[in-house]
Amino acid sequence: MRASMNFVTPGQGGDVRFVLDNNWTGTGQQPVEVELRDWRSTAGQPSFAREGFVIDRIVSGVTDYRDGKALMERWIPAVRETVLRATGGSWAALFAGPLARFSERNPEAFSSAVSAPARAVHSDLHGSFTFDQFPRQPAAEAAVDEVRSRIGDREPRRWKIFNIWQAISPPPQDVGLALCSLDSVAPSDFVEGKGYFFDPAKSAEEILDQRDAPHQFDITFFRPNPAQKWGYFSDMLPGEALIFSALDPEADSRKARVPHGAITIPGASEHAVPRNSIEIRALVAFGD
């Protein structure tokens, strides 16, 4: 099947300056038709070693994802257990979440600057990311405390960062998350993203017009390439979770950054359930 995915338009310098609002203003997103497979029906399940991602299940007993207490007491520990089982890590520190996102058909999609599906093809971290930058990541205070309680102020001997994306609404969904197999991504596909956080006191255009203001975070975008192998997991059940590589500092120049982006599921009817999801990231240590 084929689906439309949004790729960015680099500026004159070859990079992308943008504002992290629900439109990712400044990315110049352009729809490109890609061949989309159902990863459930491929021969052999995807793996970290080949594609850079797996599908697993988070068993937390949480049914109300607006209940912050339940998320902290039950969902977070369940996520940690799932990530460690899937990756073989020694321990994990969770950050940049929990963050809920909603299909645009759900009014809650526009309840915050980051509550709509992230449609631009991207990876959350940049290849220049180092452990020293970890404390500056979103919602990282508890994760930093976790690291320090285990190994003090030093860097873990071996670490990786993973994204965890869980469906929390039943199938059939209208919007899914497409993932690109790492073994199909070329070095020339990568585009540097320079981001600015949303500021309710200013328009996105005003933020981007401040040419002398240094950007606030780095991200990775991608150019379309016919060699890229894209797919999604059909009819994800509540509790099913995608765990995919966000960064491996010891990988090749591509740093094991899995391209991903929200898609409108081909053939989804008007009766499809508006997709709700929840996500978080994990720094996973190995051997410490």
Q: What residue segments make up the domains of the chain, in order of their start?
A: 2-285
- Residue-level pLDDT at 41: 86
Instruction: Extract the runs of DSSP E, i.e. beta strands, from the chain.
Output: 2-7, 16-20, 30-38, 53-57, 91-102, 122-123, 159-167, 175-180, 190-197, 217-222, 230-232, 240-247, 260-264, 276-285
Report residue 228 as tokens: 């890229």
Q: Which amino acid is at 273?
A: V
CB 127 within 8 A of CB 211: no
Of 271, 94, 255, 222, residue with least CA distance to 166: 94
Strand partners, 2: 35
User: What's the chain's Rg over C-alpha atoms?
Assistant: 18
pTM of the model: 0.96
Give the strand pairing for 217-222 and 159-167.
unpaired
User: 61-97 in b/e burial notation, b at 16+ Cβ within 10 A?
Assistant: ebeebeeeebbeeebbebbbebbbebbebbbbbbbbb
pLDDT (0 to 100) of residue 272: 85
Using alpha carbons, select from 161, 171, 156 the residue that is nearest to residue 138.
Answer: 161
Mean pLDDT by groups of 10 residues along the chain of 288 residues: 95 93 96 96 88 97 95 98 98 97 94 95 97 96 96 96 96 95 96 96 94 92 97 95 98 95 88 92 95
- Are the C-beta atoms of 95 and 143 separated by less than 8 Å? yes
Provide the 10 A C-beta neighbour count for residue 152: 7
Query: What's the pLDDT at 273?
Result: 85
Q: Is 81 in a helix, a strand, or coil?
A: helix
Distances (CA, A) of 53 to 48, 231, 256: 5, 11, 10
Both tokens assigned to 58: 């988070």
Q: State how far the Cα of 138 lies from the Cα of 245, in Å rounded to an integer.
A: 18
Place of tokens 């500092």: 249
